[in-house]
A and B are shown apart, each in its own frame.
Chain A
Amino acid sequence: MKHIISVLVENRFGSLNRVAAMFSARGFNLESISIGETEDPEISRMTIVTRGDDQIINQVLKQLNRLIDTIKVTDLTRQPHVERELLLMTLKLSKTTQHEIFELINVFKGKVVDIKQKSITIEVIGSPDKINTSIDIFKPYGIKELARSGVVAIHRGE
C-alpha cells in the first residue's frame, strides 16, 4: 500500500542524500521525494511517497528515525492530511486544438504560465491522482515536455 511520510530533517548538506541512500541500500521503494525549508531555516521538511506492506513500512519508519539528521518522522497516510503536487507541462498548440486545451485547463483549474506560437506551458496543482488524470487527458494534444514536483503533504490543522 502507498504511504506518505513526512520527515523533518536538519537543513544540512547531505541530509537528503542520507535518506535517499538509506532507501536504496535497504531496497525500499521510493516513489517520490521532495524537500524544502520550513518556517525554521535550520529544519527542512521532506515528503516521501513509498509503497510496502505493514512490516516494510514499519522498517522504513524506524530506519528513517535511526538516521541522526532526522528530527521527526510521521506517517501521514492514516491521519487527516492534505497532499499536493505541481505539474508543469508544455503542449503542442495549433488553431484547431487551442480552444479545447483552454477549456480543459479550466476543468483542471490550471493556469497558463507561458504561451508561444506553437506551444503552451501550463501548471496544474492537485493530488497525484488529479495530476495523473490531467496528463492522460492532455496526452492526445501532444506533450512536448513535463515536470512533476513530487508530492508535498502536511497535517490538517486543528
Chain B
Amino acid sequence: MHTTGQILNGSEIFFECLRRENVEYIFGYPGGALLKVYETLHDVEDIRHILVRHEQGATHMAEGYARSTGKPGVVLVTSGPGATNTVTGIANAYMDSTPLVVFTGQVPSSLIGNDAFQEADIVGITRPITKHNFLVKDVKELAITIRKAFYLATTGRPGPVVVDMPKDVLAATCAFEWPETVEIRGFKPTFKCHKNQIEKAAHKIAKAKRPLLYVGGGVITAEASEELRTLATKYNIPVTMTLQGLGAFPGSHPLSMGMLGMHGTYWANQAVNNCDLLIAVGARFDDRVTGKVDAFATQAYKIHNDIDPTNVDKNIKVDLPIVGDSKDFLASLLEEMPEKTESHELWLADIEKWRKKCPLSYSVEPDSLKTEFVIEEVSKQTAGNAVVVTDVGQHQMWTTQYYTFMNPRSIISSGGLGTMGYGLPAAIGAAFGIKDRPVVLFCGDGGFMMNIQELVTAVYCKVPIKIFLINNSYLGMVRQWQELFHKEKYSFTDLAESNPDFVKLAEAFGCKALMADNPENAKEAIRTALAWNEGPVVVDCRVARKEMVFPMVPAGGAISDMLLARLNPKTMV
C-alpha cells in the first residue's frame, strides 16, 4: 500500500488505484505496451491477475464477475490487437448495462497517430460502445481518471468505461494523489423519483383491475428484489420478467409468470395483451420483448420507471414516466400505496386459464435427450439456486423457460448484443465472484467453439464450473428460423460433419468430461458434474438435433400472435 504524496511511476499508481477501488481480480493478457505494468504486477500480491487466452475472454469473464457480484469487472490488455479484441465484450457490456473498466495499453504518446507498431485508436473505436472513455495523456491525470472511470462504470445505469494508457505515461513518475471524492459536471443521474409521479402511480395501481409488473435487469442492478416482492405479494400483482430480470422475483412463486416476449410464456404475453395497467420497472421495451410496438399492451395505462431517461419513450410511448433508481421507485411506491387494494382474483384466474391452455411442454423419450430435460433436471438438482450462465441461441431461450430462477444475480446471459462465445468465459468470471453457489453453464456447440480457448483458463485456475454442452451439432436457432421462415434452406448451420469429439477435446484441455445421450444417463451425469468441484467439468449432452423453441413470436409480429408449436412451413405464407 502506497501513501499519498509518495513519488510513484504510472504502473505503481495504476495498482494503487485498483487497490483503493477494492479490485479483487484483473482479467488480463500482457503485451508490449504493458510491460511496465506487468513488471510491477509481478510483485503485487493483493490483487489476483487471471491470465486469459484471448482478450475477448477477458472482457466476458469480467462481465460474468460483474453480473454475479454487482462489482465492476476489470480488464487489462495491451495496445492494438489486444485492445481491439476486447471490442465485442465491451459492446456486450454496453448493451446489457454491465459495469466494466477496461484498461488498454497504448503506444508511447510521441508515436500516437503515426501508425506505430500495435497502435489502434481504441478510444475512437470504442466511443459508441462505452459509457465513456479516456486517453490518459499525463501521469498526473492517471489517478483521477481511474477514479472517474470506476465512478462512471458503476453509478446510475452501469456500463463499460475504457481507459487508454500510453506506455510513457505508465513509466513516468509523479506524487501520488488519491481524490477522495469525484465530481463530473456532465454526469448527474437522477436517483430519487419525483414524488408527484409516485403518488400518481400509487393511485393508478390501487385502482387497477388487471395490473402487471414487467421487470427488467434494472431491478437486479438496483438490488430491489425485496421491494418488488413486497409490492407484488402484498397487492397480488403478477410479475413477468425480461431475460435480464429473471430471478428478481422467485420463479416458483404463483405470481411469477416467467419471461415475456419472443420466446416468453404464452400466459405472460397474454397478460401483456390484456392488462389494464403495465408497470415497467428497470426495463427498456426491447424489440424482443414488445414485438410489433403498435400491438403491445394496447389496453394498458403504462408506467415506466428507469434510471436512464433515454429509455423512456424510446420504443413505446408511456403514460407515466418516472426516472430514477428502481429501488427508490419501488420503496417510495410502497409508502404511497394504500393498505389494501382489490385482490385481482378474476385477473389471476384469467392468467391461470392461459397457463393451463398453453403450458410449456416437451416429450420425454427413453432414447432421445431433450435440452429442456437437461435444463429442467439441473434446475431440480440445484433447487433453482445455481448461478446459471448461458451462451446465445436455443439453449438460452430454453434456460429461461425450464430453469426456475429463485434469486437475483442468477442468470448471466448476453441479452442485448446476443454474443455467441460469451457463455464459457462469463461462467469462469462468475465462478471467481461466487463461491457459495454452483455455477452452471448451458452452452451450444456453436458458441462453445467461439471461446473454447478459455477452457485452459478454467482448468489451470481450477474453476469448478459445470458445463452442460447442449450439442445438437447445429446452429440451432438459425436452423429454426431457416425451417420456419427460409424455405428449409439449411445454409451453413449443420455442424455434424465438422464438430470435434467434445469429450476428447475437453480431456485434452485437462478437463473432466462426461457424455449423455438419454434421460437416464443425463440425470446421472448431471449428478456427477454437480458433485465435482476439483475444476471444470464438461458434460457433452448429445441432444435431439431438430427441436425448436416454442412458443415463439415471429420477428416484428404482434405478441398476441404467438406460434405455439411446430408449423408446417409449406403452409406458411
| A contact residues vs B (CB 8 Å cutoff) | 9-10, 14, 17-18, 21-22, 25, 55, 58-59, 62-63, 65-71
Contact = CB atoms under 8 A, between A and B. Distances in A.
Contacts of B308: 66
Given A14-B123, A17-B124, A67 B186 contact: yes
B556 to A, nearest CB: 18
Contacts of A18: 127
A14 B132 CA distance: 11
Given A69-B186, A71-B185, 14 more contacts: A14-B123, A17-B124, A18-B127, A21-B127, A25-B128, A55-B313, A59-B314, A63-B310, A65-B309, A66-B310, A68-B132, A68-B152, A68-B184, A68-B187
A124 to B, nearest CB: 36
A62 B79 CA distance: 33
When A and B form their complex, which 4 residue pairs have the shortest distance between CB atoms, in order from nearest? A68-B132, A62-B310, A25-B128, A71-B186
Interface in B111-159: 123-124, 127-128, 131-132, 152
A21 B121 CA distance: 15
Contacts of B131: 68
A22 B310 CA distance: 13
Contacts of A21: 127-128
A9 B185 CA distance: 10
B313 A58 contact: yes
A71 B313 CA distance: 23
- Report whether over half of chain B's contact residues are helix, strand or loop; otherwise say mixed: loop
B186 A10 contact: yes
Nearest to A24: B128
Interface string B181-220: 0001111000000000000000000000000000000000
A67 B159 CA distance: 13
B317 interface: yes
A153 to B, nearest CB: 21
A14 B135 CA distance: 10
Nearest to A63: B310
A69 to B, nearest CB: 6
A26 B404 CA distance: 37
10 contacts: A10-B186, A14-B127, A21-B127, A59-B313, A62-B310, A63-B310, A66-B310, A68-B131, A68-B187, A71-B185
Nearest to A54: B313
- Report whether over half of chain A's contact residues are helix, strand or loop; otherwise say mixed: helix
B150 to A, nearest CB: 14
B95 to A, nearest CB: 13
A25 B123 CA distance: 16
Interface in B372-431: none
Contacts of A71: 185-186
Residue in A22, A58, A62, A63 whose Cβ sees the most chain B Cβ within 10 Å: A62
B310 A55 contact: no
B285 to A, nearest CB: 13
B186 A59 contact: no
Nearest to A43: B185
Interface in B312-359: 312-314, 317
A55 B128 contact: no
Nearest to A22: B128
Contacts of B309: 62, 65-66
A114 B81 CA distance: 51
Given A55-B313, A63-B310, A70 B186 contact: yes
Interface string B150-177: 0010000000000000000000000000
A10 B187 CA distance: 12
Nearest to B311: A62
B317 A55 contact: yes
A96 B132 CA distance: 59
Contacts of B123: 14
A21 B127 CA distance: 8
Residue in B123, B127, B184 whose Cβ sees the most chain A Cβ within 10 Å: B127
A61 to B, nearest CB: 9
B22 to A, nearest CB: 23
Contacts of A14: 123, 127
A9 B131 CA distance: 16
A17 B314 contact: no
B127 A17 contact: yes
Nearest to A67: B186
Nearest to B308: A66
Contacts of B310: 59, 62-63, 66
Interface in B283-326: 308-310, 312-314, 317
B185 to A, nearest CB: 5
Contacts of B184: 68
Contacts of A68: 131-132, 152, 184, 186-187
Nearest to A68: B132
Contacts of B185: 71
Nearest to B157: A66
A71 B127 CA distance: 18
Nearest to B310: A62
Contacts of B132: 68-69
A62 B132 CA distance: 16
Contacts of A59: 310, 313-314
A18 B124 CA distance: 9
B89 to A, nearest CB: 19
